[in-house]
Chain A
Amino acid sequence: MSDILGRRRFLSSAVLGTTATVVAATTIGAVAPDAIADPKLDVEAGAPDPNFVEGRITGIVGGLLMVTGSDRTINQIHLTKATSVWKLRPTTSDAAKVGDGLYARGVRMPDGTLAADAIWLNIVNLQVHITSIGRSAMHLDHHGDRIVGHVVAGTTAAVYNSTPAVSDLSLLQVGKHAQIIGAWRPDTNEVDIATVYAAA
């Protein structure tokens, strides 16, 4: 933990300039936007993108995630310090558990494994109707299926009419349509809500 705090302190000082001794921190202006071309997309139409993996984690062996895709392909995914991990919120690689659903983007290594740049665990994007609202959860209708959407204190945010996100959920209405980005609780019909998009 002190590692993380020390690292944060260092990075804070790098960007806010509270100490003037950060070496090699490049400030804005020094970076040429076109220095690196976009990675070439040489995937044929219809062919699977080699730099993307979806599926569920079926095993974790020493920092390597074994993932079985929905088409039964098996992939191995490396996580590094530079891999972002999302599970309801940005988190660390130890949040990955066997059974989690996963999307990963990264770079395919010569040995066939994927070095992940970013993974998203259990992320879902649902078009729903709000059928009722409770103190800690909303009941949602997703094409006739019932889903429980848990409201997570400090995390759940709402975007009304495409305006900036707020923590105020009091404008949500029963019977209205909403879009939910959240984290599925594996093998249930429940999700933890990250962001709910609605009209107000």
Chain B
Amino acid sequence: MIESLASTQQAVVGVVLVWASWFKLFYRNAPTAARRSALKKVVGEERVVGAYRTVGVVEAVVGLLLLAPPAIALEAYAAAALSLGMLGYLGFAKWRAPDSSCGCLGDKHTPVRGRGFARAGLLLVLSVLGAQATASWLERPLATAGLLVVELAAIVALSPELDHRWLLPLRRWRVRVSHPLGNRPMEVPLESSVQQLWKSPAYESVVRQLSSDLLDHWDEGEWRLLTYAARTPDGQMTAVFAVPRLDYRPADVRLALVPADEEALV
């Protein structure tokens, strides 16, 4: 049982490595992805594309060796070494270039986070497991295929650069079917009244004397009242604006300036 599991791991790691190398060697935007990756910090701007392709070649060689029979432990150890290197690279990226991309499995710009580490760790574990294999996975194609699908799904789930292929479409579909924020009560937000106020002649006439941001606001029938502090030649005032609450009529905005100390009259 362990033996059959082990040979499957060789296939899984092989597929992931071939996939990663295919992207690095043949993808049209690979040079751009290379320049955005943390590899730039390691080898420098001029050599980054070459280094990126070299990594791709190494991955392709190890991946193809793992996939091709016979199963040799050395191949799996080579993959384990690659995974270890990967972990080291991620650690470096997190430390020295936290905003640059991993550049591992796709060209989506995704900074190195926990999932990237989990993926490299998983590959390392699978590679070590694969070293226990003595027979090629080709001898048990069906069992291998089943496990392969499950484990590849785990790898995909741990790859933030692939989220746009499955996770976002899934969430988009769910929001289209029933928008979670679809049935909120309709009301006129304060922001809308403030925007209308800014367009009004009344506001323009005093804007240079307003000293504060919005002080207070309340509704009075059809009107929404907004107050600001104002510094005028006649002293501290409170500017009171009445904005039509339900319509957009900035020309109808009304204004009164009330001396600040006379508010105590109430």
Contacts and interface: CB of A to CB of B under 8 A. Distances in A.
B256 A27 contact: yes
B257 A157 contact: no
A16 B220 contact: yes
Contact of A84 (B186, B192, B196, B214): B214
B231 A9 contact: no
A179 interface: no
Interface in A1-38: 4, 6-12, 14-16, 22-28, 31, 33-36, 38
B214 A175 contact: no
Contacts of A159: 191
B262 interface: yes
A120 B214 CA distance: 11
Contact of B256 (A22, A86, A165): A22
B164 interface: yes
Given A7-B266, A195-B191, A90 B184 contact: no
B contact face: mostly helix, strand, loop, or mixed? mixed
A131 interface: yes
Contacts of B28: none
B188 A38 contact: no
A12 to B, nearest CB: 5
Given A10-B263, A11-B263, A27-B256, A133 B179 contact: yes
Contacts of B217: 90
A157 B191 CA distance: 7
Contacts of A134: 180
A117 interface: yes
A168 B209 contact: no
Nearest to B210: A117
B180 A135 contact: yes
Contact of A154 (B187, B214, B263): B187
A131 B163 CA distance: 10
Interface in A140-177: 143-144, 151, 153-157, 159, 164-170, 172-175
A199 B139 CA distance: 54
Report, as a range, how many residues of chain B touch the other chain. 35 or more
B202 to A, nearest CB: 5
B208 A33 contact: yes
B120 interface: no
A72 interface: no
A74 interface: no
A64 B256 CA distance: 31
Interface residues of A, number: 61
Interface string A48-90: 0000000000000000000000000000000001111010011
Contacts of B184: 151, 153, 167-170
A44 to B, nearest CB: 24
A118 interface: yes
B33 interface: no
Contacts of B195: 164-165
A174 B175 contact: yes
Nearest to B217: A90
Contacts of B201: 28
Interface string B236-266: 1110111000001000001111111011011
Interface of A: 4, 6-12, 14-16, 22-28, 31, 33-36, 38, 81-84, 86, 89-90, 117-118, 120, 131-135, 143-144, 151, 153-157, 159, 164-170, 172-175, 194-195
22 contacts: A8-B216, A9-B266, A11-B240, A16-B254, A23-B265, A24-B258, A24-B259, A25-B256, A33-B206, A35-B233, A84-B212, A86-B213, A90-B213, A118-B212, A144-B113, A151-B181, A157-B192, A165-B192, A165-B195, A167-B188, A170-B182, A175-B172
